[in-house]
């Protein structure tokens, strides 16, 4: 087997098939990056997976999962002003959490350099929106490099790190989902581990580091100076490409994954438009843009998500008096979704109908039932939702939060009627409880999310005496993003660390009504939720059960593991369908005649379903299922 | 060689990731230019996992355009039909493992389970070759992907790839008992591969 950790530290040059996220880690090794921080979120978790594939004692850098994206950014900032090249990475919406610190970075002299790696998600494959983080770059005078494939992820990071270190400013490396996850063979240069200066070199003389009214104008001038320096060098850094097809009529300006889509869409097109592929998308080199505009009668700015460059290029062309026809977004749909080859083909056809034919319309009308994501077989959250639903009345309002338990909003549970972002549910619940004596408010919270962003909302509920009940869905891990440890796990990426139990935090806050049970104790959970909701003020139910996906994987690796599963006693089954349609474990299948079977591929034999059958037709597995059932 | 597109689909937990990575590495061992990408949002929680693989020197994006897959590989019946409708090229090939993991609307009694005949019809409409694989006696469901891999090799569904390339790919990805079990399954299934 090829070992990723060994590959990432290989000293001789090599070529290997890698994901964009993996290529990034090799680039961080080669760049001499010293401190890397993160909070898990798709499409970036594989960056961390690659990092931790290197044994802790061999890592040529320090790495941590911080409590949230803002803390991660602050740790990276602190390391950078101490002279260490630092990098922080997280998903698109993570920048909203980090923003308060992030927007200040460009004002500061970052002695060691700092690269902010963003995993944006056009198409919202696994996010609550498809926000275009280039807006933040403009807000914070921060350059943006945007690679199109794994090879560019590697080379662009190296260039971003060089620039950041040389100009002592933050640089964004903006990845998108299918750049992170694309795989191809990439050639990597040799790497010689260099001696590293780890002396703490923070010096107030590099400041001011105190952004207050007296210093803000000076700091802002410095930030703008640095941005101007990048603008002047943007072309020379060698990340831009001009594909000159000898077409003086039409040109396209684009970058990132849409560039690859464009090239596919143009594969059989003649004459082909010229293409200017940008590497640095902020700030723009106006000389280069003006030259490209000047050489063509019409130029399309092919821009995924929002129209920032289209607006900027049009404004610049106006200032320069250029007569080039500049095409941008044609309609609302051009603002939405990932720029796949199909989407780009459609856009090209809208702008230049003679260039390529209209995309074919779907004619097949066969319907395949949808497959929304589900909680796994044995998931403690399923037992929790099934039990909690019994304690609710139709008028009650339930507020979801981010995590696997978000899926409770789906049928058959439909618990969780509102969702916003990490840790928002106690605050939203508090607002819903105002003037409200008739509809009880129940909010949900995952354990990793509790540490991440929930505590201010919880303290607010206590401090301002809001009448809500919070269910902590405690599974002991950051399950949704791939089982990263959190502050309650008792482990971090380096080894064991003291647990910070949520219950003790809540007790420390002064929460008086804390109920707790394992979610497989469904009747008890129903009862406790009823009791908690009867409490006047803020109450908590800790509904715990370990993540069964993680638990089952660990069990399977143990010697002597024997798969177990439940069975249906067909004589006892009266086809009431509670197991399949109310409890809703994906293990149960429904025949056309209503007969219930157990899917042997899926059942893990946890037995949490046994108690849900009104006619006791579910036969428990031969032995009790594991220590946690 | 002209471009060859492989679109793979299954349900989270079925092993599409390993199958895709094995095909990617096998193509590389065969000396072919290849790109791939997994799309798996929340798929680990029982949703749909799609992986796309494109072989050829003219390939830019790893994403396959609608109805441009030469080969669709699926590990579940509903996903086989969904993938064929979305991705399969007229005259292409669909190979799928006939597992049935009922989607939510079927379990709720709101939709009918897809029948094998519906997959037959979809392929007939496209003039596509259909290869259905099922091993009711398979002891470990997590081996279904290797059964399919063996059939892809035995039937020569991806031009330019032979058994040694697939074996090298598995050796890149697995080790110890897991490798031994998967290689044994790969070899055994190669001998029994047959067309439906």
Which pLDDT score, from 0 to 100, does residue A365 have? 67
Give the mean model confidence (pLDDT) for residues A47-62.
97
Which pLDDT score, from 0 to 100, does residue A626 have? 47
> Which has the higher per-residue pLDDT, B124 or A196?
B124
Which pLDDT score, from 0 to 100, does residue B46 have? 85
**Both structure tokens of B150:** 């063996």
Domain chopping of chain B, boundaries: 4-192
Q: Is the pLDDT of residue B194 over 60?
A: no
Which pLDDT score, from 0 to 100, does residue A416 have? 97
Q: Is the pLDDT of residue A629 over 50?
A: no
Q: How many CB atoms lie within 10 A of CB A627?
A: 8
Count up the domains in chain A and report the number.
4
A101-114 burial, b if ≥16 CB within 10 A, otherwise e?
bbebbbbbbbbbbb
The answer to whether the beta carbons of residues B79 and A580 sit under 8 Å apart is no
DSSP string, A187-250: EE----------S----GGG-----SHHHHHHHHHHHHHHHHHHHHHTTTTS--EEE--S-SSE
Give the mean model confidence (pLDDT) for residues B115-126.
96
For residues A297 and A168, membership in a common domain is answered with no
User: pTM for the whole thing?
Assistant: 0.96
The answer to whether the beta carbons of residues A402 and A416 sit under 8 Å apart is no
Our CA-based measurement puts residue B18 at a distance from the nearest CA of chain A, in whole angstroms, of 13
Domain interval for residue A140: 4-233
Last residue of a domain, one of A180, A210, A233: A233
Contacts of A17 in chain B (CB under 8 A): 24-25, 28
**Both structure tokens of B98:** 């006939």
Q: How many CB atoms lie within 10 A of CB A478?
A: 26
Which pLDDT score, from 0 to 100, does residue A475 have? 93
Query: Do B65 and A263 lie within an 8 Å CB cutoff?
Result: no
Domain spanning B4-192: which CATH class is it, in words?
alpha beta
Residues sharing a CB contact under 8 Å with residue B154, sequence separation 6 or more, in sequence order = B189, B190, B193
Distances (CA, A) of B41 to A44, A90, A124, A184, A484: 12, 16, 9, 20, 17
For residues A499 and A571, membership in a common domain is answered with no
* Residues paired with residue A539 on neighbouring β-strands, in sequence order: A469, A513
Nearest CA to A403 out of A451, A455, A458 is that of A451
Q: Is the pLDDT of residue B43 over 80?
A: no
Name the pLDDT band for B1 (thresholds 50, 70, 90): low
Strand, helix or coil at B44?
helix
Our CA-based measurement puts residue A2 at a distance from the nearest CA of chain B, in whole angstroms, of 5
Q: Which of B9, B61, B79, B86 to mutate to test the interface with A (most CBs of A within 10 A)?
A: B61
Give the mean model confidence (pLDDT) for residues B67-83.
97
Residues sharing a CB contact under 8 Å with residue B68, sequence separation 6 or more, in sequence order = B5, B87, B89
- Rg value, chain B, Cα: 16
A480 half-sphere exposure, CB direction, 13 A CA radius: 27
Which pLDDT score, from 0 to 100, does residue B153 have? 96
**Both structure tokens of B165:** 């390339």
| CA atoms of A587 and B52, how far apart (whole Å) | 28
For residues A528 and A511, membership in a common domain is answered with yes
Distances (CA, A) of A595 to A582, A620, B107, B110, B147: 16, 18, 11, 15, 29
Contacts of A404 in chain B (CB under 8 A): 45
Nearest CA to A262 out of A339, A159, A147 is that of A339
- Express as a percent the part of chain B with pLDDT over 70: 95
Ordered alpha helix ranges (H), A244-285:
256-265
Give the mean model confidence (pLDDT) for residues B87-105.
97
Q: Is B98 on the interface with A (CB under 8 A)?
A: no
Least confident window among A277-286, A355-364, A492-501, B18-27: A355-364
Q: Which of A5, A17, A410 to mutate to test the interface with B (most CBs of B within 10 A)?
A: A17
For residues A99 and A149, membership in a common domain is answered with yes
| CA atoms of A90 and B43, how far apart (whole Å) | 20
Q: What is the ipTM of this complex?
A: 0.96
In B164-193, the residues whose Cβ lies within 8 Å of chain A are 171-175, 179
| CA atoms of A144 and A292, how far apart (whole Å) | 21
* Average pLDDT for chain A: 95
Which pLDDT score, from 0 to 100, does residue B41 have? 64
What are A195-247's pLDDT values in tens digits? 989 999 999 999 999 999 999 999 999 999 999 999 998 888 889 999 999 99
Our CA-based measurement puts residue A110 at a distance from the nearest CA of chain B, in whole angstroms, of 35
Which pLDDT score, from 0 to 100, does residue A627 have? 43
Give the mean model confidence (pLDDT) for residues B117-136.
96
What are A552-576's pLDDT values in tens digits? 999 988 988 888 999 999 999 999 9
Assigned domain for A358 exists: no
CATH code assigned at A583: 3.30.70.20
For residues A210 and A246, membership in a common domain is answered with no
Q: Is the pLDDT of residue A628 over 50?
A: no
Give the mean model confidence (pLDDT) for residues B126-148.
93
CATH code assigned at A277: 3.40.50.920
Q: Is the pLDDT of residue A21 over 80?
A: yes
By C-alpha distance, the chain A residue nearest B61 is A260
Least confident window among A419-433, A460-474, A477-491, B167-181: A477-491
Which pLDDT score, from 0 to 100, does residue A456 have? 98
Assigned domain for A30 exists: yes
For residues A447 and A570, membership in a common domain is answered with no
Nearest CA to A239 out of A198, A205, A192, A288 is that of A288
Name the pLDDT band for A321 (thresholds 50, 70, 90): very high
DSSP string, A1-63: ---HHHHHT--S-EEEEEEHHHHHHHHHHHHT--EEEE---TTSHHHHHHHHTS-GGG-SSEE
Name the pLDDT band for A173 (thresholds 50, 70, 90): very high
Least confident window among A531-535, A625-629, B134-138, B155-159: A625-629
What are A595-614's pLDDT values in tens digits? 999 999 899 999 999 999 99
Q: Which of B58, B104, B106, B179 to mutate to test the interface with A (most CBs of A within 10 A)?
A: B104
Our CA-based measurement puts residue A534 at a distance from the nearest CA of chain B, in whole angstroms, of 33
Distances (CA, A) of A424 to A235, A361, A457, A562: 43, 41, 7, 42
For residues A118 and A200, membership in a common domain is answered with yes
For residues A195 and A268, membership in a common domain is answered with no
Q: Is the pLDDT of residue B196 over 50?
A: no
What is the phi/psi pair of residue A175, to 5°?
-105, 155
For residues A544 and A589, membership in a common domain is answered with no
For residues A316 and A393, membership in a common domain is answered with no
Contacts of B45 in chain A (CB under 8 A): 373-376, 404, 407, 480
In B148-167, the residues whose Cβ lies within 8 Å of chain A are none
SS3 content of chain A, % helix, strand, coil (to 5): 35, 20, 45
Q: Is the pLDDT of residue B110 over 70?
A: yes
CATH code assigned at A467: 3.40.50.970
Question: B16-29 vs B144-154: helix axis angle to the nearest 10?
Answer: 30
Assigned domain for A373 exists: no
Q: Is the pLDDT of residue B195 over 80?
A: no
The answer to whether the beta carbons of residues A401 and B71 sit under 8 Å apart is no
Residues sharing a CB contact under 8 Å with residue A184, sequence separation 6 or more, in sequence order = A17, A18, A149, A150, A151, B34, B35, B36, B62
The answer to whether the beta carbons of residues A382 and A375 sit under 8 Å apart is yes
> Which has the higher per-residue pLDDT, A557 or B51?
B51
Assigned domain for A374 exists: no
Which pLDDT score, from 0 to 100, does residue B171 have? 97
What are A614-623's pLDDT values in tens digits? 999 999 987 6
Which pLDDT score, from 0 to 100, does residue B42 have? 62
For residues A305 and A339, membership in a common domain is answered with yes
For residues A35 and A155, membership in a common domain is answered with yes
Q: Is the pLDDT of residue B40 over 90?
A: no
Residue A588 zone, left/alpha/beta (φ > 0; ψ -120 to 50; rest)? beta
Tell how strand B88-97 and strand B69-74 pair up: parallel
Least confident window among A64-78, A297-311, A348-362: A348-362
Give the mean model confidence (pLDDT) for residues A46-52.
97
**Both structure tokens of A393:** 């009345």
Task: Give the nearest partner residue to B101 out of A178, A364, A602, using CB atoms.
Answer: A602
């Amino acid at each position: 087997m090829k070992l990723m950790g060994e590959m990432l530290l290989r000293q001789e040059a090599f070529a290997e098939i890698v994901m964009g996220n993996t290529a990034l880690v090799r680039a961080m090794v080669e760049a001499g990056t010293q401190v890397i921080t993160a909070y898990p979120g798709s499409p970036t978790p594989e960056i961390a997976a690659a990092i931790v594939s290197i044994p802790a004692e061999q890592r040529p850098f320090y790495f941590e999962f911080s409590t949230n994206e803002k803390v991660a950014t602050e740790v990276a900032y602190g390391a950078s002003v101490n002279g260490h090249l630092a990098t922080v990475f997280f998903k698109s919406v993570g920048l909203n959490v980090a923003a308060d610190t992030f927007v200040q970075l460009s004002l500061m002299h970052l002695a060691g350099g700092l690269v902010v790696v963003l995993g944006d998600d056009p198409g919202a494959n696994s996010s609550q929106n498809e926000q275009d983080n280039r807006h933040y770059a403009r807000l914070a005078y921060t350059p943006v490099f945007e690679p199109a494939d794994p090879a560019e992820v590697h080379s662009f990071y190296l260039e971003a790190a060089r620039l950041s270190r040389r100009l002592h400013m933050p640089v964004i490396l903006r990845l998108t989902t299918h750049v992170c996850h694309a795989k191809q063979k990439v050639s990597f240069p040799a790497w010689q581990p260099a001696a590293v200066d780890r002396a703490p070199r923070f010096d107030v003389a590099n400041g001011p580091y105190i952004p207050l009214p007296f210093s803000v104008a000076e700091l802002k001038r410095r930030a703008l100076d640095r941005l101007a320096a990048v603008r002047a060098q943007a072309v020379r850094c060698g990340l831009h490409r001009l594909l000159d097809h000898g077409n003086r009529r039409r040109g396209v300006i684009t970058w990132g994954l849409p560039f690859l889509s464009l090239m596919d869409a143009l594969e059989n097109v003649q004459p082909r438009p010229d293409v200017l592929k940008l590497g640095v998308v902020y700030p723009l080199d106006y000389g280069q843009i003006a030259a490209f505009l000047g050489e063509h009668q019409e130029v399309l700015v092919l821009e995924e998500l929002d129209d920032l460059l289209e607006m900027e290029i049009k404004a610049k062309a106006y200032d320069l008096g250029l007569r080039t026809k500049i095409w941008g977004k044609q309609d609302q749909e051009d603002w939405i979704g990932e720029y796949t080859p199909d989407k780009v083909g459609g856009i090209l056809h809208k702008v230049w109908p003679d260039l390529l034919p209209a995309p074919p319309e779907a004619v097949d009308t066969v319907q395949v039932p949808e497959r929304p994501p589900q909680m796994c077989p044995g998931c403690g959250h399923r037992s929790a939702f099934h039990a909690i639903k019994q304690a609710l009345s139709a008028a009650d309002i339930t507020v979801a939060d981010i995590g696997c338990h978000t899926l409770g909003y789906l049928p058959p549970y439909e618990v969780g009627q509102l969702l916003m972002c990490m840790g928002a549910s106690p605050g939203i619940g508090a607002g819903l409880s105002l003037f409200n004596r008739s509809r009880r408010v129940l909010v949900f919270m995952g354990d990793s999310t509790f540490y991440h962003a929930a505590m201010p909302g919880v303290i607010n509920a206590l401090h301002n005496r809001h009448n809500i009940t919070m269910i902590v869905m405690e599974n002991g891990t950051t399950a949704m993003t791939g089982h990263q440890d959190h502050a309650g796990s008792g482990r971090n990426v380096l080894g064991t660390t003291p647990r910070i139990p949520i219950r003790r935090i809540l007790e420390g806050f002064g929460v008086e009504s804390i109920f707790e049970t394992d979610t497989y104790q469904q009747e008890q959970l129903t009862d406790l939720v009823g009791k908690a909701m009867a409490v006047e003020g803020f109450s908590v139910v800790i509904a715990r059960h370990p993540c069964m996906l993680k638990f089952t994987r660990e069990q399977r690796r143990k010697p002597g593991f024997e798969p177990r599963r439940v069975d249906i006693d067909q004589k006892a089954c009266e086809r009431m369908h509670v197991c399949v349609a109310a409890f809703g474990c994906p293990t149960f299948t429904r025949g056309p005649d209503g007969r219930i079977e157990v899917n042997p591929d899926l059942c893990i034999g946890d037995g949490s379903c046994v108690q849900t059958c009104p006619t006791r037709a579910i036969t428990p597995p031969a032995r009790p299922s594991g220590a946690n059932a | 060689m002209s471009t060859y597109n492989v679109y793979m689909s299954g349900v989270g937990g079925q092993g599409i990731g390993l199958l895709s990575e094995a095909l990617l590495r096998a193509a590389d061992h065969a000396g072919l230019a290849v790109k791939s990408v997994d799309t798996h949002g929340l798929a680990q929680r029982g949703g749909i996992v799609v992986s796309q693989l494109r072989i050829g020197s003219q390939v830019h994006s790893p994403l396959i355009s609608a109805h441009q897959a030469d080969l669709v590989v699926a590990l579940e019946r509903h996903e086989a039909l969904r993938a064929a409708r979305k991705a399969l090229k007229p005259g292409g090939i669909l190979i799928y493992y006939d597992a049935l993991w009922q989607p939510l609307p079927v379990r709720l009694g709101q939709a009918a389970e897809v029948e094998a005949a519906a997959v037959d019809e979809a392929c007939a409409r496209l003039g596509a070759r259909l290869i259905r694989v099922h091993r009711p006696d398979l002891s470990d469901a997590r081996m279904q992907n290797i059964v399919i891999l063996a059939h892809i090799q035995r039937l020569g569904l991806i031009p330019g790839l032979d058994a040694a390339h697939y074996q090298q790919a598995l050796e890149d990805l697995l080790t110890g008992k897991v490798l031994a079990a998967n290689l044994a399954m790969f070899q055994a299934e190669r001998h029994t591969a047959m067309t439906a």
